[in-house]
Amino acid sequence: MALTEEEKKLVAPFMTNVDKPVFVLTNLPEVVKGALFSRYSRTPKSLREVLLREFMQSEELNLREMLASVPKAGPEGIKTGKAEKFYERVLVGYGDDSVAELAGAHIALEGISILATKAIEDARIGLSPLEKSTRYVYFDQKREDGIWPYHRDEMLMNSDFADLYVETCDMCFDKYSELVPAVSAFVKEKEPQGEDVSERAYESTVRAKTCDILRGMLPASTLTNMGLFGNGRAFEYLLTRMYADDLLEMNTLARSMQEELSKVIPSFVKRADNKYGLSMQAYFKRVRAAMDSLVEEYRKPGGKEEVKLVKYDAAAETKIITAALYPYLSKPMGEIARIVEEMTDEEKQAVIAAYTNKRENRRHKPGRAFEHAYYTFDICANFGAYRDMHRHRMLTQQRQLLSTHHGYMLPGEIVEAGLEDAFSDAMEQARNAYGQISKKYETHAQYVVPLAFNIRWYMSFNLREAYHMLELRTSMQGHPDYRRIAQEMFKQIKEVHPKLAEGMEFVDLEEYRLSRLEAEKKIDNKMKEIAKKYEL
């Protein structure tokens, strides 16, 4: 049913247009959007009709009477409590938890440890995180209270290790701060500014290189900031996991997050700590305790190989070619597979080549047929590199506890600059502190470990994700540590599946001294284009 002109005026503040089939909702709390979409899925009415007839004219949610305040006050002008009441009625009526994925929120988390960010970013689906970079920002400034910015874990600060913990973290920051000017000067001496490079691009590149070299000195307790956007369902699960975490920082952070999220999407996060949430938390803890007890006799650390392909599908080519042909034929998959098995190598290669078909850049991704082959890599590399690789979410990965058991990565530039003793002394002091603290508080001892120390984790992903991840993570502007990991992954995939790896033509196997320079020069050009466009 079409709306009258008067009715269009009523709904206009809540959408980007009133007469087109595509529009965006505006000036509504997230909980109202979720309730609106959940009702929308169960009615023949248009979304505009649902908003007008069932929301604005509803006794539970009388948006109409608040209409005048919306343009001035924005979403805050609408009573979230009434929206909450209406949403609960809709949810009970339809019993579909998936509607919680239709509303989301942006939340800022400031002054949390790097260790905490990794636990939060373990949540892969429904959340989009951004974190303060150790690559573009120096961590050499003390806080207003005159102390270095690292998390002081309550458990450790109330233990016999408090002084050792503070002394070690202070030492890491002291030496990091002392080495910043020395390393920066070394980089400039080795790579002088070229005539075709602007001052801005050069200084940004030197900063990035300096941070690249020194970030390994920062302890995992280093305070950072992160932004997080996610839907209600993802936030609920995240909070439940955080409440069950062994670290008090995570528990406290979960409480603060739930308190703030409850102001905008209360229905979507309330189960994180109600009877259902408490039951889930208890389950997480039981599993962790049972596994810890089970593996006690096997805990001795072993092996330090950096990148190892431990599992791959020997029938990958047949599976991928079968899946590639499937949409173009009118045959059952089993019959297509038999056709593929009878193909010659040349015929198989022709199908793969046609399916990737002259990719012009890394954003030209192969189709879903490439999701039928999987690879699992076991990796032992520094925690700084892990943090970068950890950002990929379309895969399965798990890490072991951060420790000093697997040694640390000493940057070649540190040795070249004659600063090896200062760097190594810091690592050894941190190793000693970890050794003492971990005997009683193994999980909490992670805070004192610098990012240069190696951590072991595995990554399992399909070939389609391999194209995306390995081409991105070997690009010239990437950090040398994760570029090395991605390059080795590519080489090992190519060794077992040369035909399938042939299309990864944008994997960069070269090495660069100032990896950010070309990217910064491109930024200069874009800034000039923008200035010209807007006559700035």
- pLDDT at res. 131: 87
Mean pLDDT value of segment 33-41: 71
Same domain membership, residue 235 and residue 283: yes
Positive or negative, the CA dihedral 148, 154, 157, 160 is negative
Cα–Cα dist 42/62, whole Å: 21
Short-list 299, 288, 164, 145, CA closest to 219? 164
Same domain membership, residue 31 and residue 113: no
Residue 72 pLDDT exceeds 60: no
Judge whether 60 lies within some domain.
yes
Judge whether 411 lies within some domain.
no
Amino acid code (one letter) for 320:
I
Domain count, the chain: 3
Mean pLDDT value of segment 520-528: 76
27 contact partners, CB below 8 Å, separation of at least 6: 13, 14, 70, 71, 74, 75, 77, 78
Judge whether 282 lies within some domain.
yes
Mean pLDDT value of segment 460-469: 97
Cα–Cα dist 332/322, whole Å: 10
Cα–Cα dist 59/71, whole Å: 22
Judge whether 436 lies within some domain.
no
Same domain membership, residue 278 and residue 139: yes
Residue 378 pLDDT exceeds 50: yes
- pLDDT at res. 457: 97
Q: Which residue has tokens 């200062």?
A: 422
Give the CATH number, domain containing residue 216: 3.30.1360.170
Could you tell me where the DSSP H helices lie in 70-161?
Answer: 70-73, 80-94, 114-121, 154-157
Per-residue pLDDT band for 74 (boundaries 50, 70, 90) equals: very low
Judge whether 79 lies within some domain.
yes
End-to-end Cα, the chain, rounded Å: 49
- pLDDT at res. 535: 67
Q: Among the listed ranges 126-130, 217-221, 361-365, which one has the minimum average pLDDT value? A: 126-130
Domain's final residue, options 102, 136, 160 = 102
Per-residue pLDDT band for 61 (boundaries 50, 70, 90) equals: low
421 contact partners, CB below 8 Å, separation of at least 6: none
440 contact partners, CB below 8 Å, separation of at least 6: 159, 161
Short-list 230, 312, 220, 224, CA closest to 264? 230
Per-residue pLDDT band for 32 (boundaries 50, 70, 90) equals: confident
Short-list 151, 149, 122, CA closest to 138? 149
Q: Among the listed ranges 84-98, 134-148, 244-258, 386-400, which one has the minimum average pLDDT value? A: 84-98
Per-residue pLDDT band for 2 (boundaries 50, 70, 90) equals: confident
Q: Give the CA angle between residues 381, 492, 519 to the nearest 5°.
A: 65
Residue 534 pLDDT exceeds 90: no
Residue 150 pLDDT exceeds 60: yes
Mean pLDDT of the chain: 88
Same domain membership, residue 215 and residue 94: no
Q: Which residue has tokens 């990958």?
A: 316
Contact of 375 with 320, CB cutoff 8 Å: no
Residue 486 pLDDT exceeds 60: yes
Report the percent of the chain where pLDDT is more than 90: 61
Greatest distance between any 2 Cα atoms in the chain: 78
- pLDDT at res. 88: 63
Contact of 231 with 104, CB cutoff 8 Å: yes
Contact of 313 with 463, CB cutoff 8 Å: no
Higher pLDDT, 170 or 524: 170
Q: Among the listed ranges 62-76, 161-175, 304-318, which one has the minimum average pLDDT value? A: 62-76
- pLDDT at res. 76: 42
Same domain membership, residue 268 and residue 181: yes
Domain of 169, in residue numbers: 105-297
Per-residue pLDDT band for 75 (boundaries 50, 70, 90) equals: very low
Higher pLDDT, 122 or 529: 122
Same domain membership, residue 319 and residue 208: no
Contact of 380 with 304, CB cutoff 8 Å: yes
Same domain membership, residue 86 and residue 11: yes
Consecutive H or E run containing 456: strand 454-462
343 contact partners, CB below 8 Å, separation of at least 6: 321, 351
Report how far apart, in Å, the C-alpha atoms of 344 and of each of 348, 349, 350, 357, 495 are: 6, 9, 10, 20, 20
Report the percent of the chain where pLDDT is more than 70: 91
Residue 308, both tokens = 């190892």
Same domain membership, residue 243 and residue 124: yes
Contact of 126 with 234, CB cutoff 8 Å: yes
Judge whether 250 lies within some domain.
yes
- pLDDT at res. 73: 44
pTM comes to 0.86
Per-residue pLDDT band for 316 (boundaries 50, 70, 90) equals: very high
Short-list 255, 237, 250, 301, CA closest to 115? 250
Judge whether 508 lies within some domain.
no
Residue 136 pLDDT exceeds 80: yes
- pLDDT at res. 29: 74
Residue 282 pLDDT exceeds 80: yes
Per-residue pLDDT band for 303 (boundaries 50, 70, 90) equals: confident
- pLDDT at res. 313: 94
**241-270 residue pLDDT tens:** 999 999 999 999 999 999 898 887 887 888
Higher pLDDT, 376 or 131: 376
Amino acid code (one letter) for 358:
K
Cα–Cα dist 377/308, whole Å: 5
Report how far apart, in Å, the C-alpha atoms of 182 and of each of 176, 214, 342 are: 10, 11, 64
Q: What is the DSSP letter of 303?
A: -
Same domain membership, residue 292 and residue 204: yes
Same domain membership, residue 214 and residue 143: yes
Q: Among the listed ranges 78-92, 152-166, 372-386, which one has the minimum average pLDDT value? A: 78-92
Residue 277 pLDDT exceeds 70: yes
Same domain membership, residue 185 and residue 120: yes
Residue 304, both tokens = 């330090």
**407-428 residue pLDDT tens:** 999 999 999 999 999 999 999 9
Judge whether 287 lies within some domain.
yes
Consecutive H or E run containing 522: helix 517-533
- pLDDT at res. 512: 85
- pLDDT at res. 472: 95
Domain's final residue, options 297, 329, 347 = 297
Domain's final residue, options 267, 297, 327 = 297
Residue 318 pLDDT exceeds 90: yes
Same domain membership, residue 319 and residue 285: no
Residue 87 pLDDT exceeds 80: no
Q: Give the CA angle between residues 154, 158, 162 to the nearest 5°.
A: 95
